[in-house]
Copies of this chain bind each other. A is one copy, B any other.
Amino acid sequence: MAKSVCVVGSVALDNVETPSGNASNVLGGACSYFSVAASFFAPVNLVGVVGRDFPEAERRFLAGRGINVEGLEETDGETFRWHGRYHENMNVRDTIDVKLNVFESFRPRLPASYRGSEFVFLANIQPALQADVLSQLQAPEYVGADTMDYWIDSAPAELRALLAQVDLLSINDSEALMLAGESNVVRAARKILAMGPRHLIVKRGEYGALQFSSQEIFAVPAFPLENVVDPTGAGDSFAGGLFGSLAADGAVTSRSLRRATVYGTVVASFTVEDFGLGRLRSLERGEIDARYRQFMAITDFQS
Which residues of A pack against B, CB within 8 Å?
19, 88-90, 183-187, 190, 204, 207-208, 210, 216-228, 255, 258-259, 261-262, 296-302
Contacts and interface: CB of A to CB of B under 8 A. Distances in A.
A302 B298 contact: no
**Pairs A-B, 8 closest by C-beta atoms:** A207-B207, A219-B221, A258-B301, A186-B226, A217-B298, A186-B224, A262-B301, A219-B298
Nearest to A226: B186
Nearest to A295: B219
Contacts of A222: 219
A301 B259 contact: yes
Nearest to A204: B207
B185 A210 contact: no
Residue of A210, A219, A227, A301 with most partner-chain B CB within 10 A: A301
Nearest to A210: B224
Contact of A216 (B183, B187, B207, B298): B298
Contacts of A226: 184, 186-187, 190
A219 B186 contact: no
B221 A301 contact: no
Given A90-B183, A259-B301, A296-B302, 17 more contacts: A19-B183, A89-B183, A184-B226, A184-B228, A186-B224, A186-B226, A210-B221, A217-B298, A219-B222, A219-B224, A219-B298, A220-B299, A220-B301, A255-B301, A258-B300, A262-B301, A299-B299
For this chain, the copies found in one complex come to 2
Nearest to A225: B186
A227 B187 CA distance: 8
A301 B219 CA distance: 10
A217 B208 contact: no
Given A219-B298, A300-B302, A185 B258 contact: no
A207 B208 contact: yes
Contacts of A302: 296, 300, 302
